[in-house]
């Protein structure tokens, strides 16, 4: 978005504003009218420039066929994570969510499997909004990778080392030591539950 000219930003904002208030993108004529261009081609040229710079996409031949690239790439919903695969690998994406109800920036949603965080009010099948980070603060709920397994646990750190704690009395803590291939994939920032 940084190398857009002042006029290109204006055109981009008109498109965004139209989507917001009308629910659909503007036509060339509408853009021209709003920005007081006397030729529809002025809008057309700007659209071409915006496509070239990668911030919008055009659907040729289609009326109002303009898509914001930021909208296209929604938030992936990760179902189960195949052993050993990167968490956001294509095969792990269950679907793509195009609205983020949480007030925080979320990189992906993870569908919770199992009851290990039940005492933190996170149930089987809940969707956890995750912000990707490599580190965590003491006490935060994190998505961690242990060898090939991805789990949701509370992160605890003290003089004796790092522990991953389940919020369920029937699960025991995991002490992280050198024998384990351990990494933090992200920090849980919110949840969505679709089935009450």
Partner DNA sequence: ACATATACTGTAATTATATACAGTAAAATT
Partner DNA sequence: AATTTTACTGTATATAATTACAGTATATGT
For residue 37, give the 3-state DSSP assignment.
coil
Instruction: Tell me how far apart the alpha carbons of residues 192 and 92 are, in angstroms, rounded to a whole number.
Output: 19
CA distances from 113 to 39, 80, 128, 176 (A): 57, 8, 11, 21
* Residue 58 touching DNA (CB under 7 A): yes
Interacting residue with DNA among 19, 34, 64, 107 (CB under 7 A): 64
Is 153 assigned a catalytic role? Answer: yes
Which partner in a second copy, DNA, none is near 188 (CB below 5 to 8 A by kind)?
a second copy
Is 116 assigned a catalytic role? Answer: yes
Interacting residue with DNA among 14, 18, 28, 106 (CB under 7 A): 28
- Would you say 168 or 180 has its CB closer to a second copy? 168
Q: Which stretch binds DNA (CB under 7 A): 4-12, 82-90, 155-163, 172-180?
A: 4-12
Residues 6+ apart with CB under 8 A from 101: 192
For residue 9, give the 3-state DSSP assignment.
helix
Interacting residue with DNA among 21, 60, 90, 178 (CB under 7 A): 60
- Would you say 62 or 99 has its CB closer to DNA? 62
Q: Considering the candidates 21, 95, 135, 153, report the single residue annotated as catalytic.
A: 153
Subset of residues 107 to 166 that bind DNA, contact rule: CB under 7 A: none
* Residues making contact with a second copy (CB under 8 A): 19-20, 22-25, 27, 59, 63-68, 71-72, 97-104, 118, 120-123, 126, 141, 188-196
Instruction: Tell me how far apart the alpha carbons of residues 114 and 80 are, in angstroms, rounded to a whole number.
Output: 11
Instruction: Tell me how far apart the alpha carbons of residues 121 and 118 are, in angstroms, rounded to a whole number.
Output: 5
Residue with the two structure tokens 């710079």? 53
First-to-last C-alpha distance (Å) of the chain:
41
Q: Considering the candidates 63, 99, 104, 116, report the single residue annotated as catalytic.
A: 116
| Under 8 Å between Cβ of 166 and 173 | yes
Minimum distance, C-beta of residue 31 to DNA, in the bound complex (Å): 8
Element (H, E) at 64: none
List residues near DNA by CB under 7 A: 5-8, 27-30, 32, 35-46, 49, 52, 58, 60-65
Return the active site residues: 116, 153
């Amino acid at each position: 978005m940084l190398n857009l000219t002042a006029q290109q930003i204006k055109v981009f904002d008109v498109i965004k504003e139209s989507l917001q208030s009308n629910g659909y993108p503007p036509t060339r004529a509408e853009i021209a009218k709003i920005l007081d261009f006397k030729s529809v081609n002025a809008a057309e040229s700007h659209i071409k420039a915006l496509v070239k710079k990668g911030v919008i996409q055009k659907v040729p031949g289609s009326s109002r066929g303009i898509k914001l690239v930021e909208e296209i790439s929604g938030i992936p919903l990760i179902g189960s994570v195949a052993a050993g695969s990167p968490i956001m690998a294509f095969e792990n994406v269950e679907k793509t969510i195009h609205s983020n109800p949480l007030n925080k920036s979320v990189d992906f949603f993870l569908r919770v499997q199992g009851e290990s965080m039940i005492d933190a009010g996170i149930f089987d099948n809940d969707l956890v909004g995750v912000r990707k980070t490599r580190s965590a603060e003491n006490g935060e709920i994190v998505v961690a990778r242990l060898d090939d397994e991805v789990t949701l646990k509370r992160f605890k750190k003290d003089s004796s080392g790092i522990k991953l704690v389940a919020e369920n009395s029937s699960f025991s803590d995991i002490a992280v030591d050198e024998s384990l291939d351990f990494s933090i994939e992200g920090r849980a920032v919110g949840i969505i539950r679709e089935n009450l």
